Amino acid sequence: MNKKLQFAALACAISIALSGCSQSTSTTAVTTVQSQQTQQVSTYNAKTFFDTTAIMGSSFSPNGDKVLVSSDESGIYSLYEVDAKTGNKTRLTNFQDSTYPVRYFPNDERVLFTKDSGGNERFHVYVRELDGSITDLTPGDETRASFAGFTEDSSEFFITSNQRDAKFMDLYRVDSKTYKITPVYQNTLGLDVGAISPDGRYIALSKNNTNKDSDTFILDTYKKTLKPQLISKHNTPAQYTPETFSVDSKYLYYSTDAKGEFSQVWRYELASEEHSPVLKDNWDVSFIYFSKSGRYQVSGVNADASTKVTVIDTQSDKEIAMPQLPAGNLRGVNFSADEKSMAFYLNSDTSPSNLFVWQVGSDKAQQLSNTLSKEIDQNDLVESTIVRFKSFDGLEIPGVLYKPKQASSNNKVPALIWVHGGPGGQSRTGYSAMQQHLVNHGYAIFAVNNRGSSGYGKTFFHLDDKKHGTDDLQDIVYGKKHLQSLDWVDAEKIGIIGGSYGGFMTAAALAFEPEEFKVGINIFGVTNWVRTLNSIPPWWESFKKALYDEMGDPATDGERHRAISPLFHAKNITKPLMVIQGANDPRVLQIESDELVAAVKANGVPVEYVLFDDEGHGFSKKENRISASNAYLNFLDTYLKERFGPQG
């Protein structure tokens, strides 16, 4: 599904511990009254919450006996292979930077993975050889690369790399044995590789024309002249995005919002050039892909901030009957090469992702991980509810609300408006150690999906175009008013928190609506749009036009950018502020946070500044995430709950 450019998902990690946080595993139980019932709720410290293991990846080894994952159980994301029957793990990498899984090679247990350096987002493609040695396929300090798929005979695979021109990603073939790299397509038109046919003949490319309009092209590599052919001719603005090819290389599946408010999946027959519908829903169809032979089709729908995954047996055209499973949403579905085994994750608000392997058709799936800390009683965690409220102009705004178990009309709690990243991101259901830690300590969280958020139709999606810091900010303010209407919320103790674009919104709320929120936490947020839009990374070139349609072109909209940038209005900030920054952030430069902190301190306002030397736009190290939650909680206890009394 095509989404607005997102500067990053909100990260939940910082590397400084402030005083005042409990160091025990859990504190004395808190008695609460809720609906005439008394509950015993234990609270847990940040270290316990982040004993929770984050895990990702579900690629099977060639014979299906192992699953490749990345886990942060050691404190940083490293590669492991997990025995598909016992769950026993073997660590494969041990770098100072996080490593993320791509997949096993199809015919042996070499492993492809990616890694950047210190959060600089210049990811390389690596091979872990059978003897454990590491080969960097895409060396170079300025190189950024990604994996793009194997050919069906496994003799070659594809990568994209900007080694020729920092602005554009070219396509290359790599010999699976020798690693000889051969150019396939030199990208001089600013196109993005979307999918490659299994036979290696066809390349599906996309181009962002505006933030409302994109095109899909087909490149036939068997032709002497490598000229992309447009297959998405349309008269009114619409998004066309390649998804995947059929296993026989006869069809391209693509997503488009040309047929209505929400993205649908269609397919294009390469021989006849005919288009036909495949999947549609009352929400965005987010993705579609197939198992190796095409026997199973996996698709997902973004249904009101939760992903609903469906697996279809294409032989019967019916949804497969899954075994009885714990509560949660499926994600990361993958099949073994013989299609007899299926790996997947289950995730819910109160349970982090756990890896399962299921012998297709059997009565029970094997759970291979138990990622929640053993010290945490899952009953002490909080399920979210989806809530809607009317904004300043009557528009209905959705959000994800977490009500602490301590909260009642007799025990009103402080609250936080949570703002997602983007622009164009979405707050979604699912486990977050950072959020659950704050909720567990008595802070309500309302994750508002303001206008401009993805997932609610293209009209809603574009309502904030060139209105950032104005209409969308009012949605946030009216989200606060909704919280104030709840009899279990302390109406005088509401703060705001967000990362990336949400960090901008936090600083904007304090600068432009200085009396609305009592405190703000800005996590690597943009505060100077003039500088940010003139210093975007070179690899954003292919969608820079769409970004400018969204935010405005710095060449012509500089006055507006200055008007909405909190840094230039920092004299208005009178409420306590916390600022988080990664020194290696290529998107939001450190100088932005340095300048904001200095400006707000000049107002005589309490400011906490946390700077990470070893992080970028997001935080990957567990020790930093633990320190982050300690810092958040101490700041909020001090200035929102006023537990320790206001400090200068």
59-109: per-residue pLDDT in tens?
Answer: 999 999 999 999 999 989 999 999 999 999 999 999 999 999 999 999 999
CATH number of the domain to which 311 belongs: 2.120.10.30
Q: Is residue 619 part of a domain?
A: yes
In a domain, 63, yes or no: no
In the three-class reduction of DSSP (H, G, I as helix; E, B as strand; rest coil), residue 46 is classed as: helix
Contact between 201 and 183 (Cβ < 8 Å): no
Per DSSP, 228 falls in state: P
Averaged pLDDT for residues 628-638: 93
Which residue has tokens 């103790």?
A: 493
**What pLDDT does 39 receive?**
60
The model's pTM is 0.89
Return the closest-CA partner of residue 566 out of 537, 532, 608.
532
469 compared with 247, residue with greater pLDDT: 247
Domains: count for the chain: 2
Residue 437, in any domain of the structure: yes
The bridge status of strand 520-523 relative to strand 577-582 is parallel
* pLDDT at residue 14 greater than cutoff 60: no
In a domain, 181, yes or no: no
Give 437-481 pLDDT, tens digit per residue.
999 999 999 999 999 999 999 999 999 888 888 999 999 999 999
User: pLDDT tens-digit profile of 390-445?
Assistant: 999 999 999 999 999 999 999 999 999 999 998 889 999 999 999 999 999 999 99
- Please tell me the least confidently modeled range out of 46-60, 290-304, 548-562, 566-580: 548-562
Q: How confident is the model at residue 24 (pLDDT cuts 50, 70, 90)?
A: very low
- Does 383 lie in the same domain as 285? no
Supply the pLDDT for residue 548: 81
Same domain, 412 and 315: no
pLDDT at 200 over 80: yes
Residue that wins the pLDDT comparison between 224 and 173: 173
Residue-level pLDDT at 545 = 74
Distance CA 88, CA 118 (A): 30
pLDDT at 108: 97
Whether residues 396 and 313 share a domain: the answer is no
pLDDT for residue 37: 43
Kindly state whether residues 581 and 510 are assigned to the same domain.
yes
Alpha-carbon separation of residue 492 from 202, 439, 630 (angstroms): 60, 18, 23
Q: Is residue 28 predicted with pLDDT exceeding 80?
A: no
Identify the sign of the CA torsion 580, 469, 120, 76. positive
Provide the pLDDT for residue 552.
83
pLDDT at 34: 38
Classify 361 as helix, strand or coil: coil
Domain boundary, last residue among 320, 346, 362? 320
> Residue 220 sits in which domain range?
192-320
- The reply to whether 518 and 596 lie within a common domain is yes
Q: Is residue 337 part of a domain?
A: no
Q: What is the pLDDT of residue 30?
A: 36
Distance separating alpha carbons of residues 192 and 326, to the nearest angstrom = 39
Q: In sequence order, what are the beta bridge partners of 59?
A: 68
**Res 18 pLDDT > 80:** no
**Residues 379, 238: one domain?**
no
Comparing CA positions, the residue from 474, 450, 468 lying closest to residue 460 is 450
Residue at a domain's end among 320, 336, 354 = 320
**606: closest CA among 567, 638, 632, 628?**
638
CATH number where 517 lies: 3.40.50.1820
Name which residue leads in pLDDT, 251 or 580: 251
388 vs 225, more confident: 388
| 497/647: higher pLDDT | 497
**If you average pLDDT over each of 51-55, 270-274, 561-565, which comes out highest?**
270-274
Is pLDDT at 180 greater than 60 in this prediction?
yes
Is residue 20 very low, low, confident or very high in pLDDT (cuts 50, 70, 90)? Answer: very low
**Helix (H) / strand (E) containing 111:** strand 111-115
**pLDDT score for 31:** 33
Same domain, 295 and 398: no
Residue 19 pLDDT greater than 70, yes or no: no
**Within a domain: residue 139?**
no
Residue 149 lies inside a defined structural domain of this protein: no
Nearest to 242 by CA among 289, 288, 290, 205: 205
From 333, 341, 231, 329, select the one nearest 288 (Cα to Cα): 333
The neighbour count for residue 170, using CB atoms within 10 Å, is 19
- Residue 316 and residue 379 in one domain: no
Report yes or no: 238 and 260 within 8 Å, Cβ to Cβ.
Answer: no
Residue with tokens 């729908």: 301
Residues 303 and 383 in one domain: no
Structure confidence at residue 648 (pLDDT): 35
Given the DSSP bridges, would you call strands 306-313 and 318-319 parallel, antiparallel or unpaired? Answer: antiparallel
Same domain, residue pair 485 and 401: yes
Is the model more confident about 271 or about 34? 271
SS3 at position 181: strand
Q: Which of 506, 505, 526 is nearest to 577 (CA)?
A: 506
Q: Once rounded to an integer, what is the mean pLDDT over residues 199-203?
A: 96
Instruction: Flag whether pLDDT at 260 surpasses 90.
Output: yes
Per DSSP, the three-state class of 49 is helix
Give percent of the chain with pLDDT exceeding 70. 93
Asked if residue 533 is part of any domain, the answer here is yes
Average pLDDT over residues 259-266: 97
Predicted local distance difference test score (pLDDT) of residue 645 = 54
pLDDT band at 644 (very low <50, low <70, confident <90, very high): low
What is the pLDDT confidence band of residue 613, given thresholds at 50, 70 and 90?
A: confident
One domain, residues 310 and 394? no
Q: Which of 301-310, 547-556, 636-645 has the lowest mean pLDDT?
A: 547-556
Residues 476 and 546 in one domain: yes
